[in-house]
A and B are shown apart, each in its own frame.
Chain A
Amino acid sequence: MLELLRLSRRFGRVVALDDVSFSVAEGQIVGFVGPNGAGKTTAMRIALGVLTADAGEVRWRGETLDAATRRRFGYLPEERGLYPKMRVLDQLVYLARLHGLEPGEARRQAERTVALLGVADRARDRTESLSQGNQQRVQLAAALVHAPEALVLDEPFSGLDPVGVDVLSGVLREQAAEGVPVVFSSHQLDLVERLCESVVLIHHGKIVAAGRIAELRAADPRHLVRVVVAGASPGWLDRLDGVLVLEPLPDGAILELTDRAREVQVLDAAREAGEVRHFSVIQPSLTEIFRRAVQA
């Protein structure tokens, strides 16, 4: 289990992290979610020892994380970085060596990782000659090359095309299946919902919600309805009582109702207003859960 315990960190007058705690169990994929500047990168940098915390500690398998253990972690920094002029394979061998692998093992792992991420055919090329997407894959290979014990990935999906997203999702699931704890930050909440069982929501340096997504949903008492009506005159929703528009959609909206009884009222009003194309009672999405947590 990777545990971040009561981490605090300031930059001058800005509080980047305020008493942040969460944990990632072996084999678990945790999504780390929050707006820009919420403190995700700071927390991840502290977990990897690139930054120091003002207070709090990071534990791995119950013990305070030291430099030797950290080197067995895999890290993808938010600011991507590779040696532009180095050849892809040489670069991965070098990083594997820095992570403590012997030369022969480093080479084997580097070859395995480029194959895993589908860039084996570019292994002999200079990194700068690769496309952005392929450089991103090499960057991920750099985080995985030493068969890490834990994975900390800062925005791993940004910059990937849909095929790359699928490849990476598969890799992360495999890693988790092998018992590696995986934590990654992302803005793409739909992706987090698909990939993670648990999430940690951070806002202004504070954890605002954390846990299994299903439980967070169950704990959300709101009644949400998604409705789409063709040919309705604008503003038909404004006339309804006890209904709040959470998110406007084309020809419709996601609505929050004060109580379940109002579902029928909304449906009646929709039928009056035009041709109902869609009407469903929905569970709150991660976006909704996050919005609510932030407002609380």
Chain B
Amino acid sequence: MRGLWRVVARREFVERGRDRGFVISTAITLLILVGVIVLSSVFGRGTRFDLAVVGEGSMGEDVVAAAAALGIEVTLVEPADARAAERLVRDGGADAALLDGDRILVRSNPAEQLVGVIQAVALRERSKAALVASGLSEMDVDAALAQPPLPVRALDPVDARQRENAVVAFVGVLALYGQLFAYGYWVASGVVEEKASRVVEVLLATVRPSQLLRGKILGIGLLGLAQLLLIGVVGLGTARAVGSLEFPSGAVATIGVVLAWFVLGFFFYAGLFAVAGSIVMRQEDLQTTMTPLTIVIVASFFVGINATQDPGSTLATVASLLPPSAPLVMPSRIVLGEASGWSIVLSAAVSISATIALIPIATKIYSRAVLRSGRVRIRQLLRAERS
């Protein structure tokens, strides 16, 4: 009967989805993710400072204006007296305190950018006072001192958006690597479980091996996709809640790209993992038969990490088109804007074609190996006419 693979897929999804180990590991992943995002928003403030200002002759407003010209945001806090200001600095309520316009107080490491701005403002104010004292009119002095900062031309400009995208791409590659490995392993160990417990003979009296394999791969793949989606949604929601993403639209696109390449990568690898599982009898032997797959995935992972830094390299370009490495390399190139539309389509098309070509071969080997006991040689299976 048709549609039996759905019954198989449903079992895989439900049984694994409610497995205690799965639930706990998903919860831990989410906790870590939320924790990292919240912590990075607390510590990764960047160029925002709180300045406590006390006493007369303070240059608070001047500092704010001068800092703004340099792209630095300074917020003024006004404690009652010097002692209150000191307490603020000590508690971290202020990054620095400016006391009576002639002393700067910091906790231990001075916030260099903030102190630099204060020093520049103070220097100007003192120069102005000295020049006025020497007889120049205040207006002339102001006119002379009110010079715009020198323009800076960066040979290699750092794009804030690009930097954030690189971080997001890195997280994406990490997630894809973990997910491809974990769910590929599940396919392989699921095949071994059925073989080792011999339940496969009961199953094969009612379903064809191809239906069993299809259901297993689709059920596990769907669970992987659901888990990835959950992680993406929770991560994005947390980041928005704490306001740590400057470009949330980029993150949404990244999640989409990661999900799409998980699907492409998982289906490419799933058949191979199933073969690795079908030729052994015990879980202990699985490591050996999975080794070639492990090597390819780990190597692709390193190329993928490299691509988050240098997405335009020849290595990254080539690797993003090859089905085994594309799922770990192409997402970075897309997120970082290095991949052209046609290369994305080409990469996906090559992955899909390779998967379509592999599945019948994998199914054939799996069907012949799954009822055999002992270690089976793939070459034998391809040669044998029947199992």
Contact = CB atoms under 8 A, between A and B. Distances in A.
Mostly, the A contact residues are: loop
Given A48-B205, A75-B205, A142-B202, A97 B197 contact: no
A45 B371 CA distance: 11
A71 B202 contact: no
B206 A98 contact: yes
Interface in B1-18: 1, 4, 7-8, 11, 15
Interface in B179-224: 193-194, 197-208
B153 interface: no
Greatest chain A CB density within 10 A among B11, B204, B205 is at B205
Contacts of B203: 98
Interface of B: 1, 4, 7-8, 11, 15, 19, 193-194, 197-208, 371, 386-387
B201 A81 contact: yes
Contacts of A49: 204-205
Interface string A80-95: 1111111000100011
A50 B204 contact: yes
Interface of A: 45, 48-52, 67-68, 70-71, 73, 75, 77, 79-86, 90, 94-95, 97-100, 142
B205 A80 contact: no
A260 B360 CA distance: 69
A79 B194 CA distance: 12
Given A52-B386, A98-B7, A83 B193 contact: yes
Given A50-B371, A94-B7, A82 B199 contact: yes
B386 A79 contact: no
A112 B102 CA distance: 90
Q: Which 5 A-B pairs have the closest CB atoms?
A: A81-B198, A81-B199, A77-B201, A79-B198, A75-B205
A112 B319 CA distance: 57
Mostly, the B contact residues are: helix
B206 A99 contact: yes
12 contacts: A49-B204, A51-B387, A70-B206, A77-B205, A83-B15, A83-B193, A83-B197, A84-B197, A85-B15, A85-B19, A90-B15, A142-B202
A86 B202 CA distance: 15
B202 A95 contact: yes
A97 B211 CA distance: 14
Contacts of A71: 1, 205-206
Contact of B205 (A50, A52, A84): A50
B199 A83 contact: yes
Contact of A86 (B4, B15, B204): B15
Greatest chain A CB density within 10 A among B7, B15, B201, B206 is at B206
Contacts of A73: 205
B366 to A, nearest CB: 15
A50 B371 CA distance: 9
A81 B205 contact: no
A70 B202 contact: no
Nearest to B211: A98
Nearest to A90: B15
A82 B202 CA distance: 8
A84 B192 CA distance: 13
B1 A79 contact: no
Contacts of A48: 205
Contacts of A81: 194, 197-202
A52 B387 CA distance: 8
Nearest to A97: B7
Contacts of B199: 81-83
Nearest to A146: B206
Nearest to A142: B202
B201 A70 contact: no
Given A52-B386, A83-B199, A100-B1, A94 B205 contact: no
Nearest to B195: A81
Contacts of B201: 45, 50, 77, 79, 81
B198 A80 contact: yes
Contacts of A98: 4, 7-8, 203, 206-207
Nearest to B215: A98
Contact of A77 (B4, B8, B19, B202): B202
A67 B193 contact: no
A184 to B, nearest CB: 15
Contacts of A70: 205-206
A81 B204 CA distance: 12
A90 B18 CA distance: 13
Nearest to B19: A85
A90 B1 CA distance: 21
A132 to B, nearest CB: 14
Greatest chain A CB density within 10 A among B1, B4, B7 is at B7
Contacts of A99: 206
Contacts of B198: 77, 79-81
Contacts of A85: 15, 19
A77 B201 CA distance: 7
A280 B194 CA distance: 53
Contacts of B194: 81, 83
A155 to B, nearest CB: 13
A41 to B, nearest CB: 10
B152 to A, nearest CB: 63
Contacts of A94: 7, 11
Nearest to B202: A81
A142 B201 CA distance: 12
A67 B202 CA distance: 14
B338 to A, nearest CB: 45
A52 to B, nearest CB: 6
Contacts of B202: 75, 77, 81-82, 95, 142
A48 B193 CA distance: 22
Nearest to A84: B197
B197 A67 contact: no
